[in-house]
A and B are shown apart, each in its own frame.
Chain A
């Protein structure tokens, strides 16, 4: 089916003594395909993209369940720079207007 999809999937649990560790990941996928049918011929095309990223390890033991988050520090750093790069022009433009107005 065409469209965008996001799902959380869990893998096979790993055993470590009395504890059970369940890996969890998030999958984003996008699919687009189309087929054209005529009397004696058919043509079509499509594309599919997916991005899977780890989210957490779920630790289940005798003393309950605990969720250990998996952070992608490289992605977090890039997002932080992207936000800073978007805010910087705004801040400097406002500063320029303010400085020019105060010197008038």
Chain B
């Protein structure tokens, strides 16, 4: 590997932006995403609580040809990102103490339950066939 690429402003800027993107992503994984804005309700303070997953992927290519005939450069890249937040609970902060109210995701529980039921039926049927064959 030779050094000139690092001295090229276009390449340098692109690389700086590439690394800055990762630093920004790391700083975005903050506790403020997990615990929402407190809501005052009478004497209590309600804090929504969530589980948050984040993903991003990025790729780039930079070319800078300083050959005779003038500078010829190009930059290309792409990326994708996904943020998913699921409610976990509501925290109720009362004068007499803290209470956690879990949030039950019925759709998710039903999906998991149905998948498990299908799996159990498959294995039960397989066992019965093996027993009475």
| Chain A residues engaging chain B, CB cutoff 8 angstroms | 9-11, 14, 16-17, 21, 23-25, 27, 29, 31, 33, 35, 37-54, 57, 59, 66, 68-75, 77-78, 81, 84-85, 88-89, 92, 95-96, 99-100
Contact = CB atoms under 8 A, between A and B. Distances in A.
Interface of B: 1-2, 4-6, 8, 11, 14-15, 18, 22, 25-26, 29-35, 38, 45, 47, 49-66, 86, 88-89, 91, 93-95, 97-98, 100, 102-105, 108-109, 112-113, 115-116, 119-120, 123-124, 126-127, 130-131
A59 B5 contact: no
Given A24-B31, A54-B89, 16 more contacts: A23-B34, A25-B31, A25-B35, A40-B5, A42-B5, A44-B59, A48-B55, A51-B52, A54-B50, A57-B93, A57-B100, A70-B49, A70-B91, A74-B103, A75-B51, A100-B130
Nearest to B108: A74
Nearest to B51: A53
A40 B63 contact: yes
A84 B113 CA distance: 11
Name B's interface SS: mixed
B127 A92 contact: yes
13 contacts: A11-B32, A23-B35, A25-B34, A35-B15, A47-B57, A51-B54, A54-B35, A57-B93, A59-B98, A70-B89, A73-B104, A74-B105, A100-B131
B102 A73 contact: yes
Contacts of B29: 27, 29, 50, 52
Name A's interface SS: strand
Given A39-B5, A53-B88, A11 B31 contact: yes
B15 to A, nearest CB: 6
B35 A38 contact: no
